[in-house]
Amino acid sequence: MVAAGEVVERPFNVVKELVENSADAGATRISITVENGGVGMVRVTDNGRGILPDDLPVAIQRFATSKIQTADDVYNVRTFGFRGEALAAISSVSDFSIKSCRKGENGAEIRIKHGGKPEILPAPELEGTTVEVRSLFANVPARLKFFKSFSAEEREIAKFVRSFSIINPHIAIELDTNGKQAYIATAGMDMVARGVQVFREKDIVKGFAEYEDMKLDFVTSLPSVQRYRKDMIIVGVNGRVIKDPAIVQAVVTAYHRVIPDGKFPAAGISLHVDPEKVDVNVHPAKTTIKLLDNRDIFSFVHHNIKNRLDDAGHDQGVAMTTSSGFIPPSERTYSNSNNDPSTPQPTSGKYDHQFASVEYNIASEMEVVEYAHSNEASIVETPDEHGEIGAMRVVGQLFDTVIVCEKDGEAYFIDQHVAHERVLYEKFVREMSMSVPSVVMYEPVLIKAGDDELAIAEESKDVFEQFGYEIEAFGGDSLKVGRVPTDVLNRDIEAQVKGILADLIEHRKDTGVDYRALVMSCKAAVKAGDHLEMHEMRRLISDLFTTDNPYTCPHGRPIVFKQPADFFMRKFGR
């Protein structure tokens, strides 16, 4: 309720309240000046609607506000807060002044020192408002004992200003700290430009979505950006920077299988919802709010970010190749160097359910090309029936592990195992909706198992069934395998089952088609140390950049990193 009052605990609270007041006044430009962590001085100037001279004394009274007209408005707040409430609290603990002028009216200034008697003075007729706070907490020195340091307070203020600027890209904002410009976002900078500046990352995409009474504007990083903390996931609701673990988690889970566990993206989430579905009165500082449709909002944010990442991955992949068509990855196969690349082998677009020792012949659906020797081999164009693959030049292979490519003045280093794993993973996910052919064993196979293996086998019977296995406990320390996929009949069945158990123990949360594809792609992909011919590398690169996400493997590990040409030139002193 309004009578709960406002508590100003630190200079950060002062800056937050004054900036939000400026936004409520319709400001399109806000300037903030901070000295000595905000204890020395905080000044906020805006070009919004000014305060009438007669209203200035009311503005600093407790419980006074221009933002609600009826009792029902408390539950339908479309502004950042109750303006007079914050000003009353701040003016009681500082040397405080407001200069304000509304368009077409006289300007006025009010001064009040630590809650004393206010003084009204004339002021220049400059449209907008300037609030200045000096000697904060001089009359309550005990508050100063809780400060970590001026620099720590300045960092928190700067973090808030940066966050506010992303959530409100229509407002130009500037922060000066101790005489130096700490941050500036001009009116011409959109959400992406501000995201690049705040996150210090270039790999950022923008998205927009609308559903019923919800609107979502966001910028979020590509999978190449991986941070160790969630502090760069900025959330705003109806223009207010807030802390909402549920929305942060919606962003994090959208990156599942895109970046490694324990790493986090950078994102700015600006959500607009019906004010009636937002309770901003759960905390006086209004940094925490209550969303009444929390599940719907979680799903709305999660799915739209995930879809934008999928689109961005596809768009980036297409950009790496020519616009001409390619053989879809689901129709291609690969081999390691032990196979003869000149021998075509029959292939099928259908998944043949091989699990561990699948052979992939990269040359099976392409014309065999006679390559030149030495460095000419790296620039030969490899034609196929759908067009020419030539936008990215494959230079060669390092350590039989890393494929080196060149495009537009940048060198690309690509891990061949995880690149092939990504290609196969997406292929298997598409194709594995069909059931796995299996046969009943004439004589069941008994497998000795440890406690962990026995426990996970019991928990994961449905997963084994999806693989084509029927498995159950048998005795104290054994598992009985009564049905197996047809393609493993002539293999070491115990080794196959043990491999699945090991993967299940490592990835207990993963089940269903997604998990099956994960395991199979890892098992079947070319390995580090496998020598690849030039045409094999070219085809793998082509396949990689037509996947939905060519930058991370299904486990979230990076596939590609790049360096510009000038990086290498500097190393040679050029």
Q: What are the DSSP calls for 84-137, one per residue?
A: HHHHHHHHTTSEEEEEEE-TTS-EEEEEEETT---EEEEE---SEEEEEEESTT
CA 352 to chain centre: 36
pLDDT classification of 508: cutoffs 50, 70, 90: low
Among 5-9, 119-123, 471-475, 552-556, whose mean pLDDT is lowest?
5-9
Q: Which of 277, 312, 347 is the last residue of a domain?
A: 312
Strands 267-272 and 240-242: unpaired
- Distance between CA atoms of 205 and 219, rounded to whole angstroms? 6
Query: Containing domain of residue 450, as a range?
Result: 393-560
What single-letter DSSP state applies at residue 338? T
Q: Give yes or no for residue 8 having a pLDDT over 50.
A: yes
- Distance between CA atoms of 508 and 444, rounded to whole angstroms? 26
| Strand ranges, E, within 327-401 | 382-384, 387-389, 393-398
**DSSP3 helix / strand / coil % (the chain, rounded to 5):** 35, 25, 40
Q: Are residues 147 and 198 in the same domain?
A: no
Tokens of residue 42, six digits = 């905080």
Q: Are residues 178 and 196 in the same domain?
A: no
Mean pLDDT of the chain: 79
- The one-letter amino acid at 50: G
CATH number at residue 540: 3.30.1370.100
Q: Are residues 146 and 287 in the same domain?
A: no
Q: Are residues 220 and 180 in the same domain?
A: no
CA 308 to chain centre: 10
Q: Give yes or no for residue 196 having a pLDDT over 90.
A: yes
Residues 292, 278: contact at Cβ < 8 Å?
yes
What angle (nearest 5°) sits at the alpha carbon of residue 165, between those of residues 9 and 74?
55
Highest mean pLDDT among 372-381, 382-391, 428-437, 536-545: 536-545
Q: Which of residues 73 and 371 earns the better pLDDT score? A: 73
Packing angle, helices 191-199 and 150-167, rounded to 10: 150
Q: What residues contact 195, with CB distance under 8 A and at least 6 apart?
A: 166, 201, 204, 206, 219, 266, 268
What single-letter DSSP state applies at residue 313? H
Q: Are residues 403 and 514 in the same domain?
A: yes
Which residue intervals of 25-59 are DSSP H helices? 56-59
Q: Is residue 345 part of a domain?
A: no
Tokens of residue 486, six digits = 């047809």
pLDDT cut 90: percent of the chain above it: 41
Q: Are residues 445 and 495 in the same domain?
A: yes
Q: Is residue 369 part of a domain?
A: no
Q: Is residue 359 part of a domain?
A: no
Q: What residues contact 573, with CB distance under 8 A and at least 6 apart?
A: none
3-state secondary structure 409-426: CEEEEEEHHHHHHHHHHH
Q: Are residues 34 and 159 in the same domain?
A: yes
Q: At 484, is the secondary structure helix, strand, or coil?
A: strand
Residues 238, 297: contact at Cβ < 8 Å?
no
Residue 147 is predicted with a pLDDT of 74
Q: Are residues 77 and 162 in the same domain?
A: yes
CATH number at residue 148: 3.30.565.10
Residue 462 is predicted with a pLDDT of 80
- Distance between CA atoms of 421 and 550, rounded to whole angstroms? 10
Q: Is residue 444 part of a domain?
A: yes
Residue 5 is predicted with a pLDDT of 46
Q: What are the DSSP calls for 179-241, one per residue?
A: TEEEEEE-TT--HHHHHHHHHT-S-EEEEEEEETTEEEEEEEE-TT--BSSSTTEEEEETTEE
Residue 1 is predicted with a pLDDT of 31
pLDDT classification of 313: cutoffs 50, 70, 90: low
pLDDT, one tens digit per residue, over 345-379 is 333 333 233 333 333 333 332 222 232 333 333 43
Residue 513 is predicted with a pLDDT of 56
Q: Is residue 387 part of a domain?
A: no
Q: Are residues 110 and 132 in the same domain?
A: yes
- The one-letter amino acid at 146: F
Q: Which of 185, 219, 248 is the last residue of a domain?
A: 185
**Number of domains, the chain:** 3
CA 87 to chain centre: 36
Q: Are residues 409 and 450 in the same domain?
A: yes
Q: Which of residues 78 and 382 earns the better pLDDT score? A: 78
Instruction: Please give the backbone phi and psi of residue 155, each rounded to the nearest 5 degrees, phi first.
Output: -65, -40
Q: Is residue 363 part of a domain?
A: no
Q: Are residues 171 and 200 in the same domain?
A: no
Mean pLDDT of 316-325: 42
> Any idea which residue has 């502004």 for tokens?
79
Q: Are residues 35 and 156 in the same domain?
A: yes
pTM of the predicted model, to two decimals? 0.64
CA 464 to chain centre: 33
Strands 233-237 and 240-242: antiparallel
Residue 435 is predicted with a pLDDT of 65
Tokens of residue 474, six digits = 């048998």
Instruction: Please give the backbone phi and psi of residue 219, each rounded to the nearest 5 degrees, phi first.
Output: -125, 140
Q: Is residue 375 part of a domain?
A: no
What single-letter DSSP state applies at residue 80? S
H/E run at residue 466: helix 461-467
Q: Which of 164, 185, 206 is the last residue of a domain?
A: 185
Q: Is residue 355 part of a domain?
A: no
Separation in Å, CA 196 to CA 45, 154, 200, 316, 557: 26, 21, 5, 18, 23
CATH number at residue 203: 3.30.230.10
